[in-house]
Structure 1
Amino acid sequence: MKKAWILVLAGSLVACGQPSDTPAGGDASTPAAIEHETLEAQVPESEPIASPYEVAESAPDDTDYAALAGYPDTWYVSYGWPGEYPSGFVVLEQGVTLNGRARPNPDAPANVACTLPQYANYQIWNRQRVERDSLEFIVASKIEPVTMLVDANIETPGDEGMQVLNLKAGDVLSYLRYLGEGFAIFGVNGQEYTINEAELRDISSMSAVSLEEDQWVEVACIGGTRAWLLYDDAIAHDDIVPSPIVGFGEASDIYPDEVDKVRAEGLELEAFQNGSFDEGPNE
């Protein structure tokens, strides 16, 4: 997908804080103007984070996201959104305003009015948007117990290569969060390990686990405020849809002439995520 760039607004528009309606020259193929007066015009491109493991490991050292979110101890809060192709959302129209929160917790009041820039794609691979707006992505996952049904030796990557966990029937692991590509973080005797779910599926209660998670992103709102937005709240807005899947590790803000296409694809993806496709009659 084409890379979006910043259209520098005329002095009079900057003074009144209003974005231009169309890119320079009115050409729909021109990259979209971004409605955020604090963004700078020249931001160098950076390499995308392509792996869910790299994302989870890239958490800033100076932020305790679990303390910030304030979820109960039965939840695990960590950095980055899960999945081989992490979720995201795109703002299709001007003036889209969401009720965000001052902290990433569903019990916190949704009283931070946050207007988002049109054409912005809030996806962790959209590195230009991430860096310009200092976006923070976290996920809160409800901890689920996984009980071993048989004795088993399970391989897991460690700092010095692969290591083996000697698990016994009756041992209880804690499913902490999904990473991607079938791997998840499990708690075992107070330590965290990355384990392939497939290794546990037939020898534990893994198949009965029902994943419950909240995906949060802290965004820069037009006007300078910041707010935490819940993914499910964002895509519930009529003019916001799930981010298009372009390619592995690829994402950018969209262009004006892509709105209709992105809307159609986003609604289709949302229907798929909600399991609302008509699968047809049973054979």
Structure 2
Amino acid sequence: MRLGCILIAAGLLAACGQERAEAPAETPAPATTEVSSDLDSALEAEPAAPPVDDINYQALSGYDESWYVSAGWPGEYPAGFAVLDAGTSVPAWTVPNGANEADTSCALPQYANYQLWNYDRADADDLRFFVATKTFPVTLSQDASIEYISDGGIHTLDLKAGDQLTYLRYLGEGFTVVAYEGAEYDINEAELRDISDIGSMPTVEDQWVRVTCADGTQPWLLYASVIDHPGIVPSPMLAYGEASDIAPEDAEQIRMDAEANRLAYEGVEPGSLE
């Protein structure tokens, strides 16, 4: 079974297995005004049906109510990691919670690529992906009507200065899930940038994946922990929605590309370390 969420059309996507509360009955009817190009293009996309994932990750992980826990990993190109070296063993968790220390280890197969779109690996190893995001309040500084996507249409949420939303998680393509008066809304985060304090808090999230180790056990790995482990690099991106295990003949090029990207991110000039 394919597991995890595919961010096909940001805002239309609900994290798989995560039930969304319906908007209150008094929610305004779909907007009749001209819609933004971002929302319009999201509606025109042809989303694939998300796979079913019926695990209650909040209960399984033990994160408290200050965290929003949902299936899948965020981002229009979700993160992932690939194992380039043989004999790679990484710290792992029996219970996936960032407050806990790793309590076991996991030997990973060489050339495995752990990414949401690598369906062959996800099926073979019964991978499970979820993210825990630390929630925070977002306060409006002025009256505003915010557009959101629901049931395949565009609606507006009318807010007043001083109203408070709760940031829940990032989806992709600039879209974010927020809560207001008990309902959840997928909105374009840019709409809140100049009319709220949404930019004043950093996004804190733990990205977890359950893997199958060489000995057949299935512990959890924390992306932030495993990505810096020797012999592991960020998943290479082939094209939108595509991923696979690493071909052995491509491993060294992928390793070099990953190192070049790391140095560029750190602002190191090519060749300066030679």
Structure 2 unaligned segments of length 5 or more: list them: 17-49, 270-274
TM-score by length of 2: 0.79
In 1, distance between residues paired with 2:127 and 2:248?
23
Change (3 A) 1:59 1:102: farther
Is the contact made by 2:53 and 2:71 (CA closer than 8 Å) also made in structure 1? Answer: no
Change (3 A) 1:59 1:151: farther
Change (3 A) 1:138 1:169: same
Change (3 A) 1:141 1:270: farther
Aligned to 1:256: 248
Is the contact made by 1:242 and 1:267 (CA closer than 8 Å) also made in structure 2? Answer: no
Aligned to 1:187: 179
Aligned to 1:230: 222
Aligned to 2:266: 276
1:85 aligns with 2:44: no
Is the contact made by 1:55 and 1:79 (CA closer than 8 Å) also made in structure 2? Answer: no
1:56 aligns with one of 15, 39, 46: 15
In 2, distance between residues paired with 1:260 and 1:61?
35
In 2, distance between residues paired with 1:83 and 1:153?
25
2:105 aligns with one of 94, 99, 113: 113
Of 53-62 and 252-261, more deviation after overlay is shown by 53-62
In 2, distance between residues paired with 1:206 and 1:224?
43
1:177 aligns with one of 158, 169, 175: 169
Is the contact made by 1:49 and 1:55 (CA closer than 8 Å) also made in structure 2? Answer: no
Pairing of 1:117-196 with structure 2 (within 5 A): 117-159=109-151, 161-196=153-188
In structure 1, the residue corresponding to 2:208 is in which secondary structure? strand
Aligned to 1:267: 259
Is the contact made by 1:55 and 1:80 (CA closer than 8 Å) also made in structure 2? Answer: no
In structure 1, the residue corresponding to 2:15 is in which secondary structure? helix
Letter in 2 for 1:228: W
In 1, distance between residues paired with 2:167 and 2:51?
20
Q: Deviations over 1:108-160 (max 9, x none)?
A: 34122210010000000111111111101111111021110110111111126
Of 58-67 and 105-114, more deviation after overlay is shown by 58-67
Is the contact made by 1:97 and 1:116 (CA closer than 8 Å) also made in structure 2? Answer: yes
Is the contact made by 1:76 and 1:141 (CA closer than 8 Å) also made in structure 2? Answer: yes
In 2, distance between residues paired with 1:104 and 1:117?
21
Measured after TM superposition, the shift of residue 271 of structure 1 is 5.0
Q: Deviations over 1:47-82 (max 9, x none)?
A: x94526547234645311111111122111111001
Change (3 A) 1:166 1:55: closer
In 2, distance between residues paired with 1:139 and 1:87?
11
Aligned to 1:4: none
In 1, distance between residues paired with 2:155 and 2:173?
19
1:211 aligns with one of 203, 207, 217: 203
Change (3 A) 1:221 1:132: same
Measured after TM superposition, the shift of residue 278 of structure 1 is 4.3
Q: Percent identity?
A: 49
Is the contact made by 1:146 and 1:209 (CA closer than 8 Å) also made in structure 2? Answer: no
Measured after TM superposition, the shift of residue 228 of structure 1 is 0.3
Is the contact made by 1:50 and 1:248 (CA closer than 8 Å) also made in structure 2? Answer: no
Is the contact made by 1:183 and 1:196 (CA closer than 8 Å) also made in structure 2? Answer: yes
In 1, distance between residues paired with 2:262 and 2:75?
16
Change (3 A) 1:128 1:261: same
- CA RMSD in angstroms, aligned pairs only: 2.3
2:87 aligns with one of 84, 87, 95: 95
